[in-house]
Structure 1
Amino acid sequence: MAFTLDDKLVVAISSRALFDFEEENRVFETSDDRDYMRMQLDRIDTPAKAGVAFPLVKKLLAFNREGEHRVEVVMLSRNDPVSGLRVFRSAQSVNLPIERGVFTRGREPFRYLHALRAHLFLSVNSDDVRAALNAGFPAARVYPESSKVAELHPNEIRIAFDGDAVLFSDEAEQVFQRNGLDAFQLHERERAAHPLPPGPFKPLLQALHRLQSLAGNEVPVRLRTALVTARSAPAHERAIRTLMDWQIDIDEAMFLGGLDKGAFLREFEPDFFFDDQTRHCESAARVSPTGHVISGIANHDA
Structure 2
Amino acid sequence: MSSYIDLKYINELSSRLGQFKKKGDYLFNFRCPHCGDSKKSKTKARAYFYQVKNDMFFKCHNCGEGQSLSNFLKFIDPKKYESYLLERYKGSAPSTPAPKFDFKPTKFEDIDYFDKLTKISELEDSHPAKVYITKRMIPESFWSKLYICNKFMSFVNEVKPNTFPHTKGEHPRLIIPFYGVDGKPFAFQGRAFGKEQPKYLTVKIDSDKQKVYGLDRVNLQQHIHIVEGPIDSMFIDNCLAAGGADLTLRVPPDNVTYIFDNEPRNKEIIKRMYDVVSKDYNLVVWPEDMRHKDVNDMIMAGLTKNEIKDIISTNTHSKLSALTKLNYYKKC
Question: Scaled by the length of structure 1, what TM-score is found?
Answer: 0.28
Greater relative contact order: 1 or 2 (C-alpha under 8 angstroms, separation 6 or more)?
A: 1
Larger Rg: 2
